[in-house]
Chains A and B, each alone.
Chain A
Amino acid sequence: MALRQQSPNNAFAPGLGTRNVVLSTIPSDSHTWNLLYLQLLLEEHGCAVTNLGACVPVATLVGESAQVRPDLIVISTVNGHGLHEGLGLARAVRASEELRQVPLVIGGKLDTAGSRTDADFLPLLEAGFDAVLVGETAVPELLALLERLALLERLPEPVARPLTPPAGGLDRRAYADAIR
């Protein structure tokens, strides 16, 4: 795992607590089993997940997230283009007034060579990701981050928030209730 040394806003400090997560991928990636798996996993750990589905344009991710105001944005990508396309994505999220401080993590298979070392992923941290999670330990590390985000048992009851995009957001549902 690569972690950004100093999160400028101290994003992972405990005490922050709600449970809204936006789950997305990069614009060129159409893999969805990873998204479905992570959605279930995050829900089982008390998160309300907005799963934006396959091939999410950066503008859609930013627009959706600005509406949902998530406590965490998780980017999952496995097609090998994450190391490239993740850069612009992170910069766009960081450029958004509403999302500047939202913790942002990326994981999966990020290049075409199976890279696993932190040094390979430094550009992603520089572009604005708070953590890069790859390899066998990625999922446990995500869960550890969630704990640190106090997403697990902090809140007495989750505040009900709309999961489907509110008016003015996407005019189509991002996913098809495949797991309801």
Chain B
Amino acid sequence: MRSVEPYRTLDAVTGSGAARDHGPGATFHAVLDAARRRGALVVQPRMGFSDPARMRAGLSATKAANATTVGTLTLDSFTRVGDFATAERALRERRPLNGYPIVNFPTATTEAMLAGIRDRDFPVQVRHGSSLPGRIFDALIEAGLDATEGGPISYCLPYSRTPIRQSVQAWEEACHKLAALRERGVEPHLESFGGCMLGQLCPPSLLIAITVLEGLFFRRHGIHSISLSYAQQTDAVQDQEAVLALHEIAAELLGDTSWHVVIYAYMGLYPSTERGALSLVADAARLAVRTGSTRLIVKTAAEAQRIPSIAENVTALETAARAGAATERLPAAPVSTGIKEEARALIDAVLGLNEDIGKALVRAFAQGYLDVPYCLHPDNAGRARSVITEQGRLEWSRTGSLPIGHLTPAHRSAQLTSTRLLHALSYVRSRYDTADTADTADPADLRQTA
């Protein structure tokens, strides 16, 4: 059951009766814009199954969860890389995929799967991870959906070996397709995944810079409703500073756009205990509320092992919502350690490379102005590196050609070995798996009280 029914007055906000002609009512944009104005926290799963009946059951359970939720269709990896033939074979052979193959299913299948579930209070977003997303955009628009995720950098470097130049071009075209929905009275929404480069070990300033640059790219290509992202990292105080900086920079650069910030519960190697996993997602909810962010995407207690069940998703959503409800917005910003200045320096340097933001992004990677630590993509310079300090903060150990050398002291780090890499990747997991804080003593308790 939904504890709150917050969207009753949406018509007043959207003023778009026209939207209802196209789909079942309020768009993802309208629902999130209303939540942002109210200061509510919306929680969302990363859920995707290849069986439409199970996908429908998952959306239905998300909607019924005791939390303010929106729905997700997470697509499978064959669809992400454009291998529709293999997706087809998998469906024929009844092999479970790691997501919903929206391109392979006839539009009618997706429409029927969504019928009666997606409505004016419960919009559904498509999350994919495709550097060349044309067919996916066609399919989701065909099915009457209006919200998705990605970006020419954030869906390229961590998801493909596609040259950035090609991804930029494909994302320009995709943005225009989505933007064309406005002609039908529907305000489309696009979320940048830039706040999660490889899920872990990418310092906050670079996450902020990439998501803001992608937001500017979306706006440049006709999208007016945007979300910017930030994935929880290793230190709560550092994360708060980063998310507040993201809000400030977005207000400075995207003032004329409808935008909100979405937080991702930790995207790296996840705790393997239920207690650890749930207290990590609860902390992500606290980060979202403290920083005035509008939406949170959760992770579940099965994250470290396998694709989560519907019930595990619901538990994560409700755990997060409860933790969020018990948290207050920060009265004042924490002491600055210069994250905002670093992020601005990156953004300004990239924007200065070319008037065309797509070209600027391509050049930025070619000359190492943007450089994601430990990323194996052929277009990434690979000269920048990060380290988790003694205090648990995520910092630069090498800035390569990033235009921030004058702003940040490079922290010392030892030669990279397999053991040290695994240690850094496991930092958050270990902390949460072994934590024995009083209020998270028992997972059942946590589910009740978080």
Contacts and interface: CB of A to CB of B under 8 A. Distances in A.
Given A37-B422, A84-B90, A30 B78 contact: no
Interface stretch (B63-71, B155-163, B310-318, B326-334): B155-163
B431 interface: no
* Most B Cβ at <10 Å: residue of A40, A173, A176, A180: A176
B108 interface: no
B425 interface: yes
Contact of A81 (B97, B198, B379): B97
B96 A53 contact: no
B380 A111 contact: no
Given A28-B86, A112-B306, A174 B416 contact: no
Interface residues of A, number: 38
A176 B378 contact: yes
Contact of B382 (A38, A172, A177): A177
Interface of A: 27-30, 32-33, 35-38, 40-41, 44, 51, 53-56, 79-81, 83-85, 109, 111-114, 172-180
A55 B163 CA distance: 13
Contacts of A55: 81, 159-161
Contacts of A79: 77, 98
Given A30-B158, A54-B161, A80-B96, 10 more contacts: A28-B80, A30-B77, A33-B200, A33-B421, A53-B377, A56-B161, A80-B306, A85-B86, A109-B305, A172-B161
A79 B306 CA distance: 9
A51 B375 CA distance: 12
Contacts of B158: 30, 32
Contact of A174 (B378, B382, B417): B378
B159 A41 contact: no
The list of the 7 closest CB pairs from A to B, nearest first, reads: A114-B306, A40-B418, A176-B382, A28-B77, A41-B418, A175-B376, A178-B382
18 contacts: A27-B86, A30-B77, A30-B129, A33-B198, A33-B199, A35-B376, A40-B416, A53-B378, A55-B161, A80-B97, A81-B76, A84-B90, A113-B96, A114-B306, A174-B378, A175-B378, A176-B376, A179-B374
A56 B78 CA distance: 13
B379 A176 contact: yes
A89 to B, nearest CB: 11
Interface string B414-435: 0011100110010000000000
Interface residues of B, number: 42
Contacts of A32: 158, 198, 374-376
Interface in B133-188: 158-161, 163
A145 to B, nearest CB: 16
A27 B83 contact: yes
A179 B377 CA distance: 12
Contacts of B96: 80, 111-113
Interface of B: 76-78, 80-81, 83, 86, 90, 93, 95-98, 129, 158-161, 163, 198-200, 269, 305-307, 373-382, 416-418, 421-422, 425
B160 A30 contact: yes
A104 B86 CA distance: 22
Nearest to B77: A28
Given A54-B160, A113-B96, A40 B417 contact: yes
Contacts of A180: 382
Nearest to A35: B376
Contacts of B198: 32-33
Contacts of A174: 161, 376, 378
Given A33-B198, A112-B306, A176-B381, A51 B98 contact: no
Given A85-B86, A112-B97, A33 B425 contact: yes
A36 B98 contact: no
Contacts of B93: 84
Given A33-B425, A53-B378, A176-B381, A27 B81 contact: yes
Contact of A44 (B269, B307, B417): B417
B377 A54 contact: yes
Contacts of B199: 33
A28 B95 CA distance: 15
Given A28-B77, A28-B86, A111-B96, A178 B376 contact: yes
A152 to B, nearest CB: 15
A28 B376 contact: no
A36 B374 contact: yes
